[in-house]
Amino acid sequence: MEHGHPTPEPSASSQNRRRALQQAAGLLLAGLALPVRGQSRIRAIRIGTTAVILNDQVRFLDEWARYLQGHIGHPVSFVHRSRYREITELLLSDELDFAWVCGYPYVSHRQAMRLLAVPLYQTRPLYRSYLIVSSSDLKTASFADLKGKTFAYSDPNSNSGFLVPQYEMLRAGLDPLTLFQKSFFTYAHGKVVAAVAKGIAHGGAVDGYVWETLALRTPDLTRRTRVAAKSDEYGFPPLVARKSIDESEFRGMQKVLTGMPDNPAGRSLLKQLNLDGFAQPEERLFEGIGKILAYVSTRQRLVS
Amino acid sequence: MNFAVTNLSYRYKVPLSISLVIVITAAVLSAVLGWQAYRDLRGGLIVGAESLGRTLSRALLPSLLSDEVWSAYETVMAPLEGVDDGGSPQRTITVLDAKGLVFVSSNPAEFPVLAPLSSAGPSYAQLQGAITTQASRSTALFEDRINDRLMFTVPILTDDGTHLGTVLLTYSESLFLPNFYAILTRVIVSTLLVLLVLVPLGWNIGRRMAVPLTGLAEAMARIGSAPRAQLTEKLYRGDDEIGQLGRQFEQMLNEIEQKQNMEKQMIAADRLAAIGRLTAGIAHEINNPLGGMINAINTFKHHRHPDPEVTQRTISLLDRGLAQIRDTVGALLVEARTESHALSPDDVDDIRTLVQAQVAERKVRLDWDNGVSELVPLPSTPVRQILINLLLNAVQAANPSGAVGCRIRRDNAQLLIDICNDGETIAPQVLEHLFEPFSLPGESRSGLGLWVTYQIVQQLRGTIEVSSASAETRFVVTLPFPENV
Residue A45 has a pLDDT of 92
Q: What is the pLDDT of residue B342?
A: 85
User: Closest approach of chain B CAs to the CA of A147, in angstroms?
Assistant: 14
CA distance A152 to chain B (A): 8
Buried residues in B356-365 as b, exposed as e (16+ CB within 10 A):
bbbbeebebe
Percent of chain A with pLDDT over 90: 71
Report pLDDT for B28.
94
From the CA of A184, how many Å to the nearest CA of chain B? 6
Rounded distance between C-alpha atoms, residue B395 and residue B384, angstroms: 16
pLDDT at B285 (0 to 100): 72
On the question of pLDDT at A131 being above 90, the answer is yes
- Give the pLDDT score at A53: 56
Contact B67 A184 (CB under 8 A): yes
- Mean pLDDT computed over A266-272: 93
Class of domain B10-180: alpha beta
Share of chain B above pLDDT 70, in %: 92
Q: Is A193 on the interface with B (CB under 8 A)?
A: no
What is the per-residue pLDDT for A10? 41
Q: How far is CA B191 from CA B27, B29, B30, B188, in A?
A: 8, 9, 7, 5
Q: Name the DSSP letter for residue A6.
A: S
**CA-CA distance, B125 to B377, in Å (whole number)?**
103
pLDDT at A36: 41
Higher pLDDT, B173 or A14: B173
Extents of the domains making up chain B: 10-180, 259-480
**Does the beta carbon of B478 lie under 8 angstroms from any beta carbon of chain A?**
no
pLDDT, tens digit, 9 for 90 and up, residues B177-207: 888 899 999 999 999 999 999 999 999 999 9
Q: Does B345 touch chain A (CB under 8 A)?
A: no
Element of type H or E holding B351: helix B345-362
- At residue A186, does pLDDT exceed 70? yes
Say yes or no to pLDDT of A3 above 50.
Answer: no
B23 to chain A, any CB pair closer than 8 A? The answer is no
Q: What is the pLDDT of residues B329-342, one digit of tens each?
A: 777 776 666 667 88
- In chain B, residues with a C-beta closer than 8 Å to the C-beta of A185 are 68, 70
Q: What average pLDDT score do residues B117-144 get?
A: 78
- Say what the pLDDT of residue A11 is: 45
Higher pLDDT, A284 or B353: A284
In chain B, which residue's Cα lies nearest the Cα of A198?
B108
pLDDT of amino acid A42: 67
Task: Sort out which chain B residues have CB atoms less than 8 A from A150's CB and list them.
Answer: 69, 112-114
| Residues 24-83 in B contacting A (C-alpha not used; CB under 8 Å) | 62, 67-71, 73-74
Query: Cβ of A51 under 8 Å from any chain B Cβ?
Result: no
Q: How many CB atoms lie within 10 A of CB B107?
A: 20
Q: Where are the beta strands (DSSP E) in A94-247?
A: 98-100, 113-120, 126-134, 150-153, 182-185, 203-207, 225-235, 239-242
pLDDT of residue B444: 44
Mean per-residue pLDDT for A186-194?
91
Asked if pLDDT for residue B439 goes beyond 80, the answer is no
Contact B69 A184 (CB under 8 A): yes
Whether A7 shows a pLDDT value over 70: the answer reads: no
pLDDT at A81: 87
Chain B residues touching A3 at Cβ < 8 A: 62
The CA distance from B403 to B362, in Å, is 10
Q: Tens digit of pLDDT for each residue in B231-245?
A: 877 788 888 888 888
B70 with A200: Cβ contact below 8 A? yes
Closest CA in chain A for residue B113: A200
Ordered by where they begin, the domains of chain A are: 9-123+236-282 (3.40.190.10), 126-234+292-299 (3.40.190.10)
B240 touches chain A (CB under 8 A): no
A221 close to B (CB below 8 A):
no
Contact B131, B96 (CB under 8 A): yes
Class of B259-480 per CATH? alpha beta
Q: Is A269 an interface residue toward B (CB < 8 Å)? A: no
For residue B96, list its beta bridge partners. Answer: B102, B166
Q: pLDDT tens across A206-225, in order? A: 999 999 999 998 899 999 99
Cβ-based neighbours of B280, under 8 Å, separated by 6 or more? B357
pLDDT reported for residue B129: 78
Is B86 touching A (CB cutoff 8 A)?
no
Cβ contact B114–A150 (<8 Å): yes
> In Å, how far are A51, A87, B211 from A157, measured between CA atoms?
12, 11, 97
Mutation site for B-interface testing, chosen from A153, A200, A224, A303 by largest number of B Cβ within 10 Å: A200
Of residues B285, B287, B231, B292, the one with CA closest to residue B256: B231
Asked whether the beta carbons of residue A1 and residue B108 sit closer than 8 angstroms, the reply is: no
**Bridging pattern class, strands A126-134 and A225-235:** antiparallel
* pLDDT tens figures, A44-62: 899 998 865 555 678 888 8
Residues of A in contact with B112 (CB under 8 A): 150, 199
Distance in angstroms between the alpha carbons of the first and the last residue of chain A: 20
Average pLDDT, integer, range A59-66: 90
Nearest residue of chain A to residue B72 (CA atoms)? A186
B437 at A interface, C-beta within 8 A? no
- Edge-to-edge strand ranges of the sheet holding A45-49: A76-80, A45-49, A98-100, A239-242, A113-120, A277-279
Q: Nearest CA to A116 among A208, A249, A10, A233?
A: A249
Q: DSSP states of A145-177 as a string?
A: GGTTSEEEES-TT-IIIIIHHHHHHHHTT--HH
How would residue A144 be classed by pLDDT, with cut points 50, 70 and 90?
Answer: very high
- pLDDT at residue B336, as a whole number: 66
Q: How near does any CA of chain A get to the CA of B136, in Å?
A: 25
Is the minimum CB–CB distance between A199 and chain B shorter than 8 Å?
yes
Least confident window among A107-121, B63-77, B332-346? B332-346
A-B contacts (CB, under 8 Å): 39
* CA–CA separation, B253 and B89 (whole Å): 82
C-beta atoms of A184 and B68 within 8 A: yes
Torsion over CA: A176, A182, A184, A189 (sign): negative
Highest mean pLDDT among A229-233, B80-84, B220-224, B452-456: A229-233
Mutate to test the interface with B, among A146, A184, A189, A206 (most CBs of B within 10 A): A184
pLDDT value at residue B351: 86
Q: What is the mean pLDDT of residues B468-473?
A: 84
B4-8, B253-257, B373-377, B414-418, range with the lowest pLDDT: B4-8
pLDDT digits (tens, 9 = 90+) for B255-299: 988 988 888 888 878 777 777 777 777 777 777 778 878 888 888
Residue A38 has pLDDT above 50, yes or no: no
CA dihedral A264, A270, A276, A282 (to 10 degrees): -120
Whole-angstrom distance, CA of residue B363 vs CA of residue B367: 13
Q: Any chain B CB within 8 A of the CB of A171?
A: no
Could you tell me the pLDDT band of residue A150, with boundaries at 50, 70 and 90? very high
Query: pLDDT confidence of A35, banded at 50, 70, 90?
Result: very low
| % of residues, chain A, pLDDT over 70 | 83
Q: A241 vs B323, which has greater pLDDT?
A: A241
Look at B108 and A199 and tell me if their CB atoms are within 8 Å.
yes
Q: What is the ipTM, given to two decimal places?
A: 0.77
